[in-house]
Every structure is written in C-alpha cells, then in structure tokens.
Amino acid sequence: MTVEGPVVVVGQGYVGLPLSVRAVQVGHQVVGFDLDKQRVDQLRRGESFIDDITDEDIAACLATGRFTPTDDPGELAGFRVAVVCVPTPLRDGAPDLSYIEDSARLLAPHLTPGACVVLESTTYPGTTEEVFGPILEAGSGLTAGTDFHLGYSPERIDPNNPTWHLQNTPKIVSGIDEASGAAVKAFYDTVVDHAVPAPGTREAEMAKLLENTFRHVNIALVNELAVYSHELGIDVWSVVDMAATKPFGFMKFTPGPGVGGHCLPIDPSYLSWQVRRSLGRTFRFVEIANDVNDNMPAYVAARVTEHLNRRKLAVNGSKVLLVGLTYKRNSGDARQSPAIPVAHRLADLGAQLSAIDPKVAAADVPDVVELVECTPEVVAAADVIVVLTDHDDVDWELIERYSDRVLDTRNRLASAGVDRL
C-alpha cells in the first residue's frame, strides 16, 4: 500500500529506525531524519547500528526506492504523517524536552493542512498539548485539531526481544481530539497488528510512565530482597523461582546489578518530577525504587570486596574480570548500563579491570577497563570474575572450568561454589 505524501520519522535510533523500516515494508514512502550525519551515512550505505535491524533490512528498504535517510530539513517538505522519536533525558532531575522542542521547530515550516504529527518520545503527561503542539502552531500558523492532527503514541520497543517487536506489540494511540485520534490510529493500523485507542494524549503519556514505573518498582523490590536475603543466608534466586510457580497474582522479576537502558533509569523520574512540580508531593514508590536501584552498583562493588576479603585479598591491585558491560542480555546497548558504575567504583578502589563482552561497542567501554577475549588464560588469571550481563554467546562453560572465583549477579552459572547476588 502506498499513501499520498511521505511519512517522516524524526530520530533514527532504537525507536525511530524500526518504525521507519516497518513503514517502508508496508508500502509507505519514508524519510528517516536524523541530525547525526554519521548515522545517516551508515543508513545510506545500508548499514544498521542497532540490534533489531539488520544490514539486510536496511538494504531492502533502500532497494524499494521508498526510504530516504537524511539530515537535510528540506527533505521533510510535503509530509502527510510525521512521527517524532527523539530522546528525553533527565537534567538535574528534570525532563529535558529540548529534543522534542527542536523537532517541533524543525517540522513546523513543513506542516500543511490535513497532516498528522505524532509524538512517541517518553515524557510527562501534558507534553503533547502544552509543549509540542504550541511550537508546531507557532511555527506553521496552523491550529492543532482544526488545521492538522496531533497525537501521542508511546514507544514500546524492547531491544533484542525475540518474541515481541514493533509489529505484534499492541500500540497505544491517542489524539488531542476525536479526529486526531482517528488519524493517528489510521496510520498505526498500517504498521502494527493492534492499535489501542486512549481517551486522550495525557492518558497515553501516563500509561507509558506506568508501564516503566511498574517494572522499576518491582525490580527494586527484588533487588532489596536480594540484599537482605544475602545477609540472612537465604538463596534469593530459589525464593523468586518458588514464588513464580504461583499461577496467579505474581509476576516474576529477578535481581541484578541495577537497571539500565533508555527507559527504567529515567522514565519513572518524569512522573516523580511532575507530581512534585504540580502537586507538591513526593511519588514515594519512584523515589524508593530510584534509591534501591541506583545503589545496586555500589552494593555489587561491596560484594566484590567481601568476596576478595574472604580470600585475604584487597581490591586494590586485584585482577577483576567483568563479564558483560551492556545493560541487557544479548544486546549491544550500553546506555545507562549498571555495569559502567560498577567498573568505575572498582577502579576507584584500585582494581585492575578487564572485561569480556562480545556485544559492546568499543566506544562504550570505560577507559578504566581493558576489553579482552574469553580465553582460559584470561579467566584463570582473574582474582575474581563478576558476571554483570549474561550474553548467550559468552563461553560460560570455559569460565566455570577455569575459575571458581566468581560473583554472579545474574544467576547464569550453575557451579555450587559460585557466589551469587
């Protein structure tokens, strides 16, 4: 199916690129815009830079003649649908909406009557109507809801998930009025299997924050349980597995060295910030979860110290081998990875750090860490091995064969002597 006028996707990262590829696959003419010229050049060469999209996917899109990667704002002219998928980082505890605002200013001169603009970036409730829309109106001279459609549809990308991807994950859609909601849904109906209409943009924005806060709070729960279980001499992993046998009223979450990625370390704080700003209150669940999860890297470093002390070794001067630097199994994404602060804390204590990670990009490896191969010599030479990310293509059998000096924060290794979180 080919639609009249191109679809513009602003931002070609972990959210925008899969959307661009899927839109091309179903017949849309797509302009993939990104200010990162290196990223655009890679796409033009048919090269992907994220886990979920292959070079073959990009090449196939380019071969259709319906995919235009660009950093030229002039290429945005004449769009019928524009989707904004840009970062919304935290700055000093407050949401930084500058990328959203810049995207609105970028699109506004090219906005024409009847067009549809959708924000996908995670943000606090009210952003679409109170921040994004007014900038579009000011720059175009058009009125949202009267001259053009405006809506919000939160991204639900889970990098490297083999089961749930853009097409088969239900997509929340919303608009500032009924006509806008219908226009937003009409577009997403072409790219996903199931679109879920929301009553309005504020509800859709809040739903995204609920999803991520739910995960954040429950991960904090099991992380704190892991800390107390260790002190009580209880195997927290068996506790979680036993609780998970209950077929109702329980959802399994597992402990780890902290939280990472583009969502959990950031998104729940949008909600906390807005409650504090608008209501003068504290969102206690988020504040507690932040405190627990933010302190997990320090706890892991303390457990490394404890592990070495039992063998009459100091952290200072010890050879510490980290396994995994990215935030998630089988992903190359190191954004907000808890492994990074773990590494810096151990380096500050004087540890000699090396790391095994077949997924991580060299640019994401901290200066205090030497990236090494998983060999018998490397494993045997380490005073302690710290498992931080459990990639499937690490040689776990080799690690178990050549070392019994392991702190495993992911419950990947089965040896009886392994020290677990």
Contact 420, 411 (CB under 8 A): yes
The answer for residues whose C-beta is within 8 angstroms of residue 161's C-beta and 6 or more apart is: none
Give strand ranges (E) for 210-324.
Answer: 319-323
What is the three-class DSSP state of 228? helix
Angle in degrees, 0-180, between the axes of helices 133-140 and 98-107, rounded to the nearest 10: 30
Torsion angles phi and psi, residue 212, rounded to 5 = -75, -35
The answer for residues whose C-beta is within 8 angstroms of residue 267's C-beta and 6 or more apart is: 122, 208, 209, 212, 213, 216
User: Which residues share a beta bridge with 8?
Assistant: 31, 82
Q: Helices (H), strands (E): how many in the chain?
A: 15, 16
CA distances from 80 to 83, 138, 150, 172 (A): 10, 19, 12, 20
Burial class (CB in 10 A: 0-12, 13-18, 19+), 176: buried
What is the three-class DSSP state of 318? coil
Cα–Cα dist 206/193, whole Å: 23
CB atoms under 10 Å from CB of 287, counted, come to 15
CB atoms under 10 Å from CB of 169, counted, come to 16
Question: What type of residue is 214?
Answer: F
CB atoms under 10 Å from CB of 92, counted, come to 5
Indicate which residues carry an active-site annotation.
263
Q: Dihedral of CA 248/254/259/263: which sign?
A: negative
Torsion angles phi and psi, residue 129, rounded to 5 = -80, -35
The answer for residues whose C-beta is within 8 angstroms of residue 39's C-beta and 6 or more apart is: 12, 13, 49
* Ramachandran area for residue 185 (φ above 0: left; ψ -120 to 50: alpha; else beta): alpha
